[in-house]
Structure 1
Amino acid sequence: MNDTTQRPPLPDHLSIDPRSPHHVAAVFEHDVGIKFNDKERMDVDEYCISEGWIKVSSAKSLDRRGNPMLIKLKGKVEAFYR
């Protein structure tokens, strides 16, 4: 059941936005989990492990294109497959 040979390696920088150069569609075919400061987060839009940050959507603010504004939080980031 936990066959890791078919899963691509998790990149250092990953985004859920398909327009981003850091979007890897093959990774999203599997369920990805993110731990931020040793707590699992379900609202992460983008992460970078080497730089130690995640981006999450703000509650109400929108950018000029109508997309949610992203807030960068710094700390310890771990990515894993569930």
Structure 2
Amino acid sequence: MTDSPTTDRLPDRLSTNPKSPHYDEALLERGIGIRFDGQEKTNVEEYCISEGWIRVAVGKTLDRKGNPLTI
């Protein structure tokens, strides 16, 4: 058996929230690094490559349903 390098491309949109339609557990287990405006980000909740945005949590603030408040 030979191991071939993975040439998988990342999806255009990915989320860490299991309730999101853009959630993909297999990709998240692999580990993904997000670089935005030249800086490595570790607090990204969701991203979209084609539209050029990321969604990050605002400190420890929660919304009325107990989810992290994101911008």
Give the TM-score category using the shorter length: 0.7 to 0.9
The higher-RCO structure (CA 8 Å, 6+ apart) is 1
Equivalence map 1:29-68=2 (5 Å): 29-68=29-68
> Can you give the 5+ residue segments of structure 1 that lack an aligned partner in the other structure?
72-82
Q: How many residues align?
A: 68
List structure 1 runs of 4+ shifted beyond 4 angstroms: none
User: Which structure dedicates a bigger proportion of its chain to strand?
Assistant: 1
TM-score between both structures, scaled by the size of structure 2? 0.85
Q: CA RMSD of the aligned region, Å?
A: 1.6
Deviations 1:16-65 (A, max 9, x none): 00110000111012010000001111111100010110011011321111
Matches of 1:28 and 1:41, distance apart in 2:
15
